[in-house]
Amino acid sequence: MKLATIRTADGTRAVRLDGDGLVDLGYADVGAYLAAGSPEAPADAATYPVDAADFAPVVPNPSKVICVGQNYRNHIEEMGRGIPSYPTLFPKFADTLIGAHDDIVRPDETDAFDWEVELVVVIGKQIRRAGEEEAADAIAGFTVMNDISVRDWQFRTAEWTQGKIWDSTTPVGPYVVTPDEVGGVRPALHVTTTVDGRVMQDDTTGDLLFDPIDLVRYISTVVTLRPGDLIATGTPGGVGHARDPKVYLLGGETVVTAIDGLGACVNRVVRP
């Protein structure tokens, strides 16, 4: 099953992909739908054409967005860091999130605007201190994120958050895809980033050091995870900051972050 949140004249709506249509599930967004227990769509549900859909972030207002750094060996090596013993965590906020086809606003305050394709775990049930089976059962599905990074702000201090939370910079979507459609809760999916058609990142989620179940278990030990929460699992090698010479987004580029089976975020980079 593929779920999405779309913008309509009457506000956002949670929908399910059905052929070339989107079926209204009766809730304002995917987070609210998951919190209600993922019920069946109403018998008289409205439908919307896919080709006219305006995708909002899959969960517009999650209670939390937890991101994982240093989770692909090749990215760790290109950034000159050691292999971690535990997941490296940092937060994002709802104001950072945009839809899968929205423009990415490049802040005037940066000269080092970078891309990062990521597999995102979408939580479907409230859990705390989850074991492996409970963690697996809590994964409602997966989606795509471009964890845009403002590198010059990120590396001002030893703590990364200020380079990761800029308003309207992080596409997520277009769909939440349930595990049964992508090979389970530990999927090995092809991930890529292209910038104006040039391949920048190319890897598989099978190379994650800490897989989705590992991350759900670890993070739920620290904090309660709730329906609609997002866990971004990290990015592979190929970021602009690690290139020689460095390559950054200046404005005007089209960035495509794609994961097989999940879809793609296709975004134009714009100046304010």
Q: Is residue 49 part of a domain?
A: no
The number of domains in the chain is 1
**Predicted pLDDT at 67:** 97
Q: Is residue 13 part of a domain?
A: no
Full residue range of the structural domain in which residue 240 is found: 59-270
Q: 202 pLDDT band (50/70/90 cuts)? A: very high
**Predicted pLDDT at 74:** 78
Average pLDDT, the chain: 96
Q: Is residue 40 part of a domain?
A: no
Is the model's pLDDT at 174 over the cut of 80? yes
**Predicted pLDDT at 148:** 97
**Predicted pLDDT at 82:** 81
**pLDDT cut 90: percent of the chain above it:** 92
Q: Is residue 35 part of a domain?
A: no
Mean predicted confidence (pLDDT) in 14-23: 97
**Predicted pLDDT at 101:** 98
Q: Is residue 187 part of a domain?
A: yes
Cα–Cα dist 125/122, whole Å = 10
Answer yes or no: are the C-beta atoms of 64 and 94 closer than 8 Å.
Answer: no
pLDDT in tens, 143-162: 999 999 999 999 999 998 99
Q: Is residue 221 part of a domain?
A: yes
Answer yes or no: are the C-beta atoms of 44 and 19 closer than 8 Å.
Answer: no
Answer yes or no: are the C-beta atoms of 150 and 107 closer than 8 Å.
Answer: yes
Query: Residue 217: CB partners within 8 Å, gap ≥ 6?
Result: 130, 131, 132, 135
Q: Is residue 204 part of a domain?
A: yes
Query: Residue 239: CB partners within 8 Å, gap ≥ 6?
Result: 75, 78, 79, 114, 115, 116, 149, 200, 201
**Predicted pLDDT at 19:** 94
Q: 84 pLDDT band (50/70/90 cuts)? A: confident
**Predicted pLDDT at 196:** 98
Structure token pair of residue 76: 């760790």
> CATH code at 210?
3.90.850.10
- pTM for this structure? 0.96
Q: 77 pLDDT band (50/70/90 cuts)? A: confident
Q: Is residue 211 part of a domain?
A: yes
For residue 216, report the phi and psi dihedrals to the nearest 5 degrees: -65, -45
Q: Point out the least confidently predicted range of 53-57, 69-73, 234-238.
A: 69-73
Mean predicted confidence (pLDDT) in 176-184: 97
Is the model's pLDDT at 121 over the cut of 90? yes
- Is the pLDDT higher at 80 or at 98? 98
Residue among 142, 134, 127 at smallest CA distance from 213: 134
Q: 73 pLDDT band (50/70/90 cuts)? A: confident
Q: 171 pLDDT band (50/70/90 cuts)? A: very high
**Predicted pLDDT at 153:** 97
Is the model's pLDDT at 15 over the cut of 80? yes
Mean predicted confidence (pLDDT) in 78-96: 90
Mean predicted confidence (pLDDT) in 226-253: 96
**Predicted pLDDT at 254:** 98
Q: 79 pLDDT band (50/70/90 cuts)? A: confident
